[in-house]
Amino acid sequence: MENDRTRCVITGLGMISAIGGNVEECWNNAINAVSGIDHTKTVDTENCYSDYSAEVRDDTPWSLPGTQGMDRASKLCIKAVAEAMNDSGLTDFGGSERAGVIMGSCVGGVVSVEEYYTKGKKAELIPQMPIAAIASQAAGYCHAGGVVTNVANACAAGTISISYASDLIRTGRADVVIAGGADSFASVPYAGFTSLHALDANPCSPFNHLSGITLGEGAGAVIVESYEHAKARGAKIYCEVLGSGVSSDAHHITAPRPDGEGQMNAIRDAIKNSGITEADIDYVNAHGTGTAKNDEAEFLSLHTIFDGKNDDLSVSSTKAMTGHCLGAAGAVEAVLAIKALCENIVPPTVGFSEDDLTLLAERAGKLDFCPNVPRKKELHTVMSNSFAFGGNNASIVFGKKIGSVKMRDERPRIGITGMGIVTPAGNGVQNYVEDFVPGTPAAAADLCSSVGKDDYDALGLKMAFYRKLDRFSQLQAVSGMEALQDGGFTITDDNATDIGIIVGTSEGALSPVCDFEMLIAEKGNANGSAFKFPNTVYNAAGGYLSICSGIKGYNVTATNGAQSGLFSAAYAMSVIRLGREKAMLATGTDENDDIIRELYGTLGYAADKPVEPYSGSDSFILSDGSTTLLLEDETAAKDRGARIYAYAKGCGSAHRNVEFGKLSGSDEALDRAIAEAVADAGITAADIGAVVGFADGCKAVDDIELGALKRVFGGRLAELPVLSVKERLGEGRAASAALGAAHAALMLHGDIPEDSAYFLGGDGKMARKTVKSGELDNILALSFGAGGSYCALVIGR
């Protein structure tokens, strides 16, 4: 029997797609086999071989109060969130730290990107471009004050977000989380899939003609809640959230493994983590995109797992009606799977002719793909699967009955056993340590990291692999591989599924997205680049890292501002604490190039001369890089004789919504993030010996940090060293956030024996003084995210 701590339930549903503006409309159309696929109206299809798509027809998202100026994806998201909140009997979280928002997306604010490059470069469009805006704005709508982030794992993002939401509840970090996903149909994905010849010239036909996908759009949102919380407020309960599985293929950036190994790892983990067997699954809402590569791998996976163990399994792909909603797909399909479970009706896979049915019978065996018509059937347990670009796979199980979700009882200590550092000052831990001179100011007002052939050769990366990587992915591949090498961690067939990756990034692949948009704005949607398009998905970097390292475990790209570089470590800690993996790479990566420089410059944040932290400027040194930490269950680390730099002892995340792109007014959330991290580490603020701050010289940022430190540490501040990695290396956003944690670990381990710290004097002025690393036991690393998200991490001996 599952105990109450692990019991998560769904208490509200929201959905918008081409087949309806709300859950009821979508559901009724789904079980009546009504497809939303039609000729495209909102995107230019000139000279393109396929003009089919599944566009949202409902126009209520475009006039929702409070969403003016937001990207189309955020409006779709908030429409679904509003419905789910209302359905669940929730009105507003009032800033509660126990309420979170996890939203999946693949292409994020591409409509704003398109408008920026085709209709005049308006500055107000820039904050709407990154995926990070979506969850932050959704949290602003419902005033959630806890963990807020986006999962940017392309077509698996929606499913992963629900999985992660339930993990947050099971690890005690939230009572209620709105999870889901949102994506718009727009020129970038349309031209991209056109360039890959991955679109069906006709409406897509999953598990049937296998000639390609049809793009859709929409959003799905579910209220995931602890059973205790739902019971206490008398909420209606749709179903239980049982186990889930997340894996990576380590195979190819766009194509799934033909042998289905990664898909099957995710599905088997979901079944195992639910405490059920294959025979218990009554219905699978399949990924079923309609491409030959996906559907053939999926036929193989389903047959391999279920044949002989479950002779009455229904399977359908609802994408034949909704189109492929990319980062929203897993979310809208979870809603449909939950409705199926509650209504005891399996929605059909539409699009089969009489001849098609003959072929299906051969391919399907005993699996019932519910061709063309729904099937009434008593459902007890359903599964929803999503498989993505980058080789990411996710599977989740919902049930009417309490399952037997297992959680590890003891909480492991988590060691930092390796790190990879790519900064504008050079690459590698050894270089970072040797090059480090306390108190060195930045060399220039604009800084860029550099990776090249020497790095690839040293890491054993071949040209046939790295030639495909965009710069963001290159930075990530080098720091990730360095972390494994530094940690002496060799990936083998035996341990490949015991280690995972959390990539943290603020802007992610925004630069490749803008580059691709500029290309199609000039040459038309028929002339996108098949080479460039795969790198526009934010999780490409994590996918490439999986491919070159061989890592086959958990793989998520989390994005919510600069703090994502610390948040990745917090996320990785929860993955290890739940026993999902023994080791995790947690990264922070962001790039600075001509495109990013223009965007930050247009917003007025890119300095034109070097800026020091706490100098009261209105801009910062734009920089970039990548830092990867290898986090490891202490027992596993000791078993393999690993060196432990320091321990990741506790983490905290909080959100106080302000307009996305701004920070002022969100101060109290940083106080809460610090308090949570300190409590999670089992210490008090008095035990913190130093802080790695996030001040970058921009007054609005620095004031928030100093304000929180004054409130948390009071009179101790005059003696509490505040360290900075940005003084020398600039504002590398997620890269700086992760570097702060690495810097702390290197001090605690003695590799960096001393640093020049800032001290806030009673006169309000910052003084400088040398701090000896040997005097420190616990260091608090802090980071911020535009829109009011904060993360704090306690690193200790």
Partner 1 sequence: MADNEMKAKLKDFICSTLGVEADVLEYDTELFGDSSIGLDSVDSLEIISYVDGEFGVDMTGVDKENFLSIDTIAAYITANK
Task: Provide the binding-site residues for partner 1, judged by CB under 8 A.
Answer: 195-197, 252, 254-255, 453, 462-469, 527, 529-531, 534
Nearest Cα to Cα of residue 11 among 80, 85, 76, 69: 85
Nearest Cα to Cα of residue 568 among 483, 635, 489, 638: 483
Q: How far is it, in rounded angstroms, from Cα 506 to Cα 626?
A: 12
287 annotated active-site = yes
For 251, residues 6+ apart whose C-beta sits below 8 A from its C-beta are 257, 262, 391, 547
SS3 content of the chain, % helix, strand, coil (to 5): 40, 25, 40
324 annotated active-site = yes
Helix ranges, 4-68 (H): 23-31
CB of 453 vs partner 1, minimal distance in Å: 8
Structure tokens given for 439: 């108190």
The single-letter DSSP state of residue 412 is P
Q: How far is it, in rounded angstroms, from Cα 224 to Cα 236?
A: 12
Nearest Cα to Cα of residue 228 among 545, 475, 462, 11: 11
* β partners of residue 317: none
Q: Which of 48, 155, 325, 370 is catalytic?
A: 155
CA angle 533, 537, 539 (to 5 degrees): 140
Q: How far is it, in rounded angstroms, from Cα 522 to Cα 634?
A: 53
Nearest Cα to Cα of residue 784 among 562, 610, 466: 562
DSSP 3-state of 387: strand
Measured from the CB atom, is 525 or 778 closer to partner 1? Answer: 525
Q: Which of 324, 325, 651, 743 is catalytic?
A: 324
Q: How far is it, in rounded angstroms, from Cα 510 to Cα 60?
A: 28
Structure tokens given for 469: 């990587």
Concatenating the DSSP letter of every residue in 747-791 gives HHTTSS-EEEEEEE-TTS-EEEEEEEGGG-SEEEEEEEETTTEEE
Nearest Cα to Cα of residue 589 among 756, 401, 451, 765: 451
The single-letter DSSP state of residue 278 is G
**With contact defined as beta carbons under 8 Å apart, do 17 and 30 qualify?**
no
| Distance from the first to the final alpha carbon of the chain | 38
Tokens 């070159």 sit at which residue? 548
Q: How far is it, in rounded angstroms, from Cα 599 to Cα 602?
A: 5
Q: How far is it, in rounded angstroms, from Cα 120 to Cα 116?
A: 6
Measured from the CB atom, is 550 or 707 closer to partner 1? Answer: 550
Side-chain half-sphere exposure of 47, counting CA atoms within 13 A: 9
304, exposed or middle or buried, with CB in 10 Å at 0-12, 13-18, 19+?
Answer: middle
Q: How many CB atoms lie within 10 A of CB 462?
A: 10
Measured from the CB atom, is 523 or 643 closer to partner 1? Answer: 523
Alpha-carbon torsion angle 650, 590, 100, 586, nearest 10:
-40
Q: Which of 209, 229, 287, 655 is catalytic?
A: 287
- Please, which contacts does 748-755 make with residues 24 or more away whose CB atoms are closer than 8 Å? 748/645, 748/646, 748/773, 748/776, 748/777, 748/779, 748/795, 748/796, 748/797, 749/645, 749/646, 750/774, 751/429, 751/433, 751/645, 752/433, 752/436, 754/438, 755/438, 755/721, 755/723
The single-letter DSSP state of residue 215 is B
* β partners of residue 199: 213
Measured from the CB atom, is 309 or 523 closer to partner 1? Answer: 523
380 annotated active-site = no
Integer CA distances (angstroms), 294 to 223, 253, 255, 336, 779, in order: 30, 13, 8, 21, 46
**With contact defined as beta carbons under 8 Å apart, do 258 and 296 qualify?**
yes
Q: How far is it, in rounded angstroms, from Cα 277 to Cα 380?
A: 13
Kindly list the catalytic residues: 155, 287, 324
